[in-house]
Structure 1
Amino acid sequence: MALFDAIIWLALFFVIWASTYFLVSELRSRRIARLPPGPYPIPIIGNILNVGQKPHESFAKLSKIYGPLMSLKLGSKRTVVVSSPTIASEVLQKYDQLFSGRAVANAVQALDHDKASIVFLPASSQWRNLRKICKEQLFSLQKLDASQGSRREKLQELCDYLQRCSVSRKIVNVSDAAFTTSLNLISRSLFSVDFANYDSNSSQELKGIVWGIMKNVGAPNLADYFPVLQMIDPQGIRRRITFYMQRLFAIFDDVIDERLQVRGTSETKKNDLLEGLLDHSIKNESEFCRNDLKHLLLDLFLAGTETASVTVEWAMAELLRSPDKIANIRAELKEVIGKKEGVQESDISRLPYLQAVIKETFRLHPPAPLLIPHKADEDVEINGFIVPKNTEVLVNVWASGRDPTMWSNPENFEPERFLGSDIIDVRGQHFELIPFGAGRRICPGLPLGYRMVHLMLASFIYNIDWKLEDGMKPEDLDMEEKFGLTVQRAWPLKAIPVKLRLQYIAI
């Protein structure tokens, strides 16, 4: 027993000594390196326990204690969290070039996606070339205007579906309807084909794949905190990502093979992104091969389907909780449209209340609450603190959107705050509201995404009255979140369209 007691005391002494040594070393390194303040880390695991199931909310609470520039130690990884528009402008504007790197999670390295991804590549010549291709082939004003007819057709299909549900008094899963619409909008732009029909199994399958990728990429991963575990993949996150990516790549391969066969037998060319990418690949095969093409399509497909549908579902949920506000949008739509066939893309600028609703949705429910992680390419001094080279930098736009020093009644859904002469935009110039990011790493799909969310929401509202299922009261609607790279509603929004006059909603 004496020997056993001695071993216990020796082990206890070692733990105390190791903990003390770790904390003293951490304090010394913070003083020497002038790191931003933050909670003191537990030996070995650091601040992992502070992350929680909803990191954006956990970081927001911690920032109230340690400030808008906060340092965390997640295992062996140093992370700095930015939680205010002022500091965000320093990171994404003043020192944009120094923070243009990407912190690449282990999950993103599945199938070497990080080596070909426009999202995760460093700001290199390869990255600039991919952005140039996207702008010229898909996101330029000329290309967007030329593809209006295709989007008009997809939105009319949404209106027809909602009308059928209204006649049959069928409950509409707003989440599924929004996803199917955004899925077909982006698949038409990329491939000139529809990937799903409303209430189809194919839509549900693709939604499961997309959310599977988003959920696992955004999940806290021990392999990121302790790089020695990367080969083991203890949580199976990378294996799941690989599985989902392979399923999407199989779909892309089928579409590409079919297009190549058509190109070989017909002189008629499609006016979509795939056609432009195939032309570019043939001319520049050494720098843009089929594998690069698939990885680019993966990025565009995920971003184009997920963020738009999530934003529209959150907007609908907030509006159904505020019947007076949904009435305001409907009245504005009728006033602006008048006797025209429907809403045009050029009408968006003349629909300030609709724009305000989208902005307020972005403020309360940014689709990517921590944006895509940045990385410091050099030591950078901000507000007297040093952000060391290779540090992961997270911009908590969710926290900025709910900061009571920036917004009155920050927890309330009040689109009216965005009306008036002092206009706040979402295109990366006003750091109070940057759902698409800002600076050189701003989302390249912003021009298309901006059009999609406004017209999709208009299609759900114009000439439609909505009723919650089972007599639920608006104030009882569950607004719980589930976290991934994007933040979805924990429970899909379901409601009944109770009145629907056939009205053509165009782009």
Structure 2
Amino acid sequence: MTRMMGGKRYYGDLDGGEEEEAKRFSDVIEDTEDVISRSKILDMLPNFQWLFGRKLEKRFAFVQKKRDDFMQVWIDEFRADGLGDGDGEGKKKTLLQILLSLQDADPEYYTDEMIKSLSQALLHGGINTSVETMEWAMSLLLNNPHILHKAQTEIDSVMGCDRLVNETDLSKLSYLQCIIKETLRMHPTAPLLLPHESSKDCMVGGYRIPQGTMLFVNVWAIQNDPNIWESPDMFMPERFEGKESSIKEKDGLTMMPFGSGRRRCPGENLALRIVGLALASMIQCFDWKRVGSELVDMSESGGFTAPKAQPLVAKYRVRSIVEHHLSQI
């Protein structure tokens, strides 16, 4: 995400300055997660606003300033290097370069504030969510090694031994797509989706919902409902075999990890590509095993995205058929 947006890399071998910047970036992400989690509690318990609201408001302002300052450094760097004014034709441009070039044409709309707001929303919405989905997927695969073997066999049959998997191959890996769907069914990134608000009075299931009511959709409960899904607590990617390649509503609104309608998550396609390519690469390049005979702990922790309570720890070994390709990276 950071490379796509600003040409930044915050992993691997970093020099002193880059390592310090990566640490500040990590702190900004963690602080943002913290204030969002706290705000959700007050949203659902509004009577406590008088007690904690002011303190949380100050915390929000502090974190937002850190986010703004961090993103402003990116913008200032592009301006100083002359990379936001249309230079470098024919080369791949980052999102910030494109936005800054649009700012030259329409400065009243593409203000620094607008660019920072959009960038922060994309970064926050696209980092932890994809990582947590991949962690759940790998945990499920390690607890079901026959499914992991089947996915590896599919990738080998499509890729052969000549090259590593790339993004254009994802549409050919139908079983991998089933694994991703089943992971998102059992562990949707946002179990309650994003909060909505009723635009007018309405009746839902016999209950009157006043205008202006904050609404949450328990998509986890829908996607794990035994009245809708056969054995919902079992990891069965095969249940999606023969279905459409993209995630659509199944039998109404029973499978919607990204929401539905015009308020559907705009980053769905990007997320599926990132998760798909990462999972395919890990499965193709390494043999995976649990660290012991016990199953991977699948308990969830609190928070807006309900990540794993215990981070995944696993053993891996480079596969001989891709060792040459990995050495060339």
Cα pair 1:187 1:193 within 8 Å, conserved? yes
Aligned length: 315
Show CA shifts across 1:208-228 (max 9, x none). Answer: 532442343134433763378
In 2 relative to 1, CA 371–295 (structure 1 residues): closer, same or farther, beyond 3 Å? same
Q: Which amino acid is the alignment partner of residue 79 of structure 2?
A: L
The C-alpha deviation readout for 1:120-176, integer Å capped at 9, x for no partner, is xxxxxxxxxxxxxxxxxxxxxxxxxxxxxxxxxxxxxxxxxxxxxxxxxxxxxxxxx
Instruction: Give distance in 1, aligned partners of 2:5 and 2:63.
Output: 19
> Shift of the alpha carbon at 1:450?
1.2
Q: Contact 1:192–1:272 at 8 Å: present in 2 too?
A: yes
Q: Does 1:319 align with 2:141?
A: yes
Percentage identity across paired residues of the two chains: 31
- The one-character-per-residue Cα deviations of 1:50-72 (angstroms, maximum 9, x if unpaired) are xxxxxxxxxxxxxxxxxxxxxxx
Residue 473, structure 1, aligned to residue 293, structure 2: yes
Aligned to 1:189: 4
Give the C-alpha shift of residue 328 in structure 1.
Answer: 0.8
Aligned partner of residue 221 in structure 1, secondary structure: helix
1:346-402 deviation line (CA, Å, top 9, x unaligned): 322221110111011101111111110011111123344432211111111111111
**Structure 1 residues 427 and 202: CA distance shift in structure 2, 3 A:** farther
Q: Larger C-alpha radius of gyration, 1 or 2?
A: 1
Go from structure 1 to structure 2 and tell me whether the alpha carbon gap of 1:206 and 1:483 turns closer, same or farther (over 3 Å shift).
farther
Q: Aligned partner of 2:75: which letter?
A: I
C-alpha displacement of 1:205: 5.6
Change (3 A) 1:376 1:424: farther
What residue is the counterpart of 2:87 in the other structure? 267
Which secondary structure does the structure 1 equivalent of 2:301 belong to? strand
Select the residue among 187, 192, 198 that pairs with 1:365. 187
8 Å contact from structure 1 (residues 218, 486) kept in 2:
no
> In 2, Cα distance between the equivalents of 1:490 and 1:369?
15
Kept in 2: contact 1:428–1:439 (CA 8 A):
no
Counterpart of 1:488 in 2: which secondary structure? coil
Q: CA RMSD in A?
A: 2.8
Distance 1:202 1:503 in 2: 33
Maintained 8 Å contact 2:177/2:245: no
State how 1:19-418 maps to structure 2 within 5 Å.
Answer: 186-197=1-12, 206-219=25-38, 220-222=40-42, 225-226=45-46, 229=49, 233=53, 236-263=55-82, 267-268=87-88, 271-418=93-240
Alignment of 1:485-500 (within 5 A): 485-500=304-319
Partners of 1:214 and 1:486 within 8 A in 2? no
CA distance in 2, matches of 1:376, 1:223: 15
TM-score (norm 1): 0.57
Tell me if structure 2 keeps the 8 A contact 1:197–1:203.
no
* Shift, 1:279, TM fit: 2.0
From the superposition, tell whether residues 395 and 224 of structure 1 become closer, same or farther in structure 2 (CA, over 3 Å): closer
Taking the aligned partners of 2:57 and 2:309, their CA distance within structure 1 comes to 23
CA distance in 1, matches of 2:183, 2:13: 25
**Code of the aligned partner of 1:407:** W
The one-letter code matched in structure 2 to 1:268 is G
Task: Summarize the Cα distance change of 1:499–1:273 in structure 2 as closer, same or farther, 3 Å threshold.
Answer: closer
Distance 1:188 1:478, change over 3 A: same
Structure 2 segments unaligned to the other structure (5+ residues): none
Name the SS of the counterpart of 1:489 in structure 2: coil
Q: CA, structure 1 residues 223+333, in 2 after alignment: closer, same or farther (shift >3 Å)?
A: closer
Q: Give the TM-score of the pair, scaled to structure 2.
A: 0.85
Comparing both chains, which one has the higher relative contact order based on Cα–Cα distances under 8 Å and sequence gaps of 6 or more?
Answer: 1
Code of the aligned partner of 2:33: M
Q: CA 1:499/1:286 → structure 2, altered by over 3 Å: closer, same or farther? A: closer
Q: Which runs of 5+ in 1 are unaligned?
A: 1-185
